Amino acid sequence: MISKALIAIAVISAALSNQTEEGQVRVLRDPWGVPHVLSETDYGVGYGYGWALAEDRLEEALNGYWTVLGRRTEVDGEEAMDIDRTFKLLRLTQDAERAFDKLPKLVRDVAEGYAAGFNDYMAAHPEEVPGWAEPIHPAWPLALGRMIDYWIPLRNANSQARGLAPKIAIPSTGTGPEHYNSVGSNGWALAPSRTETGTAMVAADPHLPWKHEFRLHEVHLRGPSFEVAGAAFIGVPLPAFGRTKHVAWTWTSNSPDHTDVYKLKLVEDDPSKYYFGRKKLEFETQEVSYKLPDGAVFKEVLQWSVHGPVTHVNLEEGYAVAYWFSCFGLAEGPVQYAEMLRAKDLGDIEDAMSNLQFAHFNLIAADSSGDIEFVYAGRVPKRPKSVDAKKPLDGSDPKLLWDDFIPFKKLPTVKNPKVGFVQNCNNRPEVTTGTKADPKPDSAPPGVVAGGRTETVRSWYLRQKLSKEGKFTREEAIALLTDGTMIPHGPLKEQLQHVWNTFGADYGAREKITSDVELVLGWDGSPDLKSGAPTIFLLWLFELNGGSAKADVSLLERSPSELSKDDAFAMFDAFKGARKRLRELIPFPPQVPWGLVHVLRKGGKVFPVATGMYPGISLMNANLDLAKPDIMNLTCRIGSAYVALHELSDPPMSWTVTPIGQTDREDLPYLTACTELFAKRELKPLPITDEQLAEVETSETVLEFELPD
């Protein structure tokens, strides 16, 4: 049954008390386009969000489903065959469909309702549906939710193969991966002892690409079994970053060893089999098809071993290569999320996380009773210390195949430290607070903390700010969350001032760089859109880093008095390189205002963005690719993806913004509402209670649906 939408604009507070009937769901849109989905049934909550998401971002969601299905060739042609092969090997949709009927009723109700709402929207608006699309299965959105858990493991496996096999395709971020680490994030929590309101706070700032399957969509869902507000990956029915009345959480990327590569020895006279101990096991096989837009079909046979998907077979040398992922075959991630949505405190969050359904990601969380916590989380196998899992392992040795994992409670954790905060900006756990509360280096079980930088520029800066004496007001917490200061400027300004005074007179090209040096020295490090200082500083630091966008704390911690003449001349030479790069970008003016080059483009408009970017990174940030110095193509494409401050108060309060907003549809009134705020580093309220919703102008859609038998 296709839903009937009854539209009413500017809902008044009296209307908020109206109850929906069992076969109805109310979708209230606030001024920023966030759907507030209210229903008397969990199925209805899913239905309303499926309809609302399709209204905002139908084609993006469909693209995500076709990616995870391994059917991109139907859209993009033969060039998509490699990425399709990857997802056919991962079998995310197959696993989700296989497990669907055994999922808890709450999860099935939301997923089935979501698919029905999404499909009914397509049926009601066929003119918006791509020709290659078809109605979705309720398991597909759940499978899409698993995709983010594979991007880093796929990259790690490709690296660990060490030339033993060709790399397999991974999801494209479209951001120039040679210049940017596309998954980052900031997250922190304050205890009640550190806030003027006397309530815990959680700050979320995931850093992700603003395109493809990494985009986020804000939503508020309220049904009989749960209520949650936050940001979901487009096409996924539940928020990944969120809050309830009782708890709030966010995630940052980390580096546990959750991936292995195995070299399998093929049976000499029968390459359909491989050695596994004393056994000769037969590969699991499946014939798969790749359909092209013109109707042509390519077929091939894919293989799996007990280790996981087989990515390469070398018949000449008699071996095959299999990738093992700690998350491969898992299908209960939605169950874990459902438990988090109904958590009353951090104990319930910990119980949910004990299911170990995610390969990686740090957890930063707080509850309404005032507890705060950081956990370096992941699904990490128990490997013997003698095993070097950074290189390909012998697939014929059964002892090197893992089936036991490190319990959640043994993962590095900082809970309720005396300092009153926890934070993570992709740093290692031993520098969470800078106090004795932090886990000691190498105290975690083997493989848990397997990589990553001890410190990042963002964590180095944030920890200093959070360590200040006194309590944070709401305004101060928001100001810190949205801080746009180019962090490297302060330390580098001191260094530059010293070497300029000490060695500047000896530099042969002093006159050529004097104006730029003085510009940087006279600037305060803020992303002043009218000033050329941020632009020349950013390019100078880029040159100083040898053409890399990576920022390193060691560069900032150099003592000015210890810098040599060679160090000084390297800093001066970088100004010449920066000026040359600037002339290539815009040849005529001596100064290029930051607001001219650091922009977002949305709805035919250009929004100068008042943040820093790599390597002149700020906490809240937006990044463009410095490797492409073409002003006509400059636009920020990655960075802070959902900036949110959640106060665990009664009533609950949140302030949020997303850079790309809720939709790209130019006919919808909230097209640029969030982008305008993000560009100015401003947050908006996220109404959660009926009273908060009554304080903002909303539009209402009442959808009618048929409950399944």
Q: What is the DSSP string of 130-162?
A: -TT--PPPTHHHHHHHHHTTTHHHHHHHHHHTT
Q: How far apart are CA 654 and CA 478, in angstroms?
A: 10
Please list, residue by residue across 370-402, b when 16 or more beta carbons sit within 10 angstroms of its beta carbon and e when fewer do. bbbbbbbbbbbbebeeebebeebbebbeeebbb
Residue with tokens 């309590």: 471
Q: pTM for the whole thing? A: 0.94
Helix H or strand E encompassing 227? strand 227-233
Please list, residue by residue across 57-94, b when 16 or more beta carbons sit within 10 angstroms of its beta carbon and e when fewer do. bbebbbbbbbbbbbbbbbbbeeebbebbbbbbbbbbbb
Residue 393 pairs in a beta bridge with 262
β-pairing, 247-252 with 259-267?
Answer: unpaired
The whole-number pLDDT of residue 18 equals 46
Residue 680, Ramachandran bin (φ over 0: left; ψ between -120 and 50: alpha; else beta): alpha
Q: How far apart are CA 20 and CA 47, in angstroms?
A: 14
| Residues 202 and 248: beta-carbon distance below 8 Å | yes
Burial of 132: CB neighbours in 10 Å, binned 0-12, 13-18, 19+: middle
* CA proximity to 459, closest of 372, 546, 553: 553
For residue 121 the two structure tokens come to 């929207």
What is the number of other CB atoms lying within 10 angstroms of the CB of residue 288?
15
For residue 108, the one-letter residue type is R
Please list, residue by residue across 211-231, b when 16 or more beta carbons sit within 10 angstroms of its beta carbon and e when fewer do. ebbbbbbbbbbbbeebbbbbb
The whole-number pLDDT of residue 589 equals 73
Helix H or strand E encompassing 541? helix 533-544
For residue 339 the two structure tokens come to 């438990």
The whole-number pLDDT of residue 162 equals 86
For residue 115 the two structure tokens come to 């698919």
Q: How far apart are CA 433 and CA 23, in angstroms?
A: 50
| Residues 332 and 390: beta-carbon distance below 8 Å | no
Q: How far apart are CA 238 and CA 40, in angstroms?
A: 17
Q: How far apart are CA 544 and CA 27, in angstroms?
A: 51
Contacts of residue 163, defined as CB under 8 A and 6 or more positions apart, other chains included, come to none
What is the number of other CB atoms lying within 10 angstroms of the CB of residue 589?
11
Q: What is the pLDDT of residues 610-625, one digit of tens each?
A: 999 999 999 999 998 6
Q: How far apart are CA 483 and CA 610, in angstroms?
A: 10
Average model confidence (pLDDT) across the chain? 93
Q: What are phi and psi of 82, to 5 degrees?
A: -65, -45
β-pairing, 207-209 with 605-608?
Answer: unpaired
Strands (E), 425-565: none
For residue 159 the two structure tokens come to 């690296």
Domain boundaries, the chain: 489-618
For residue 489 the two structure tokens come to 């400027």
Residue 356, Ramachandran bin (φ over 0: left; ψ between -120 and 50: alpha; else beta): left
Q: Report the alpha-carbon angle 700-702-706, nearest 5.
A: 160
Contacts of residue 127, defined as CB under 8 A and 6 or more positions apart, other chains included, come to none
Residue stretches of the chain with pLDDT short of 50: 1-18, 175-180
* CA proximity to 44, closest of 224, 239, 235, 230: 224
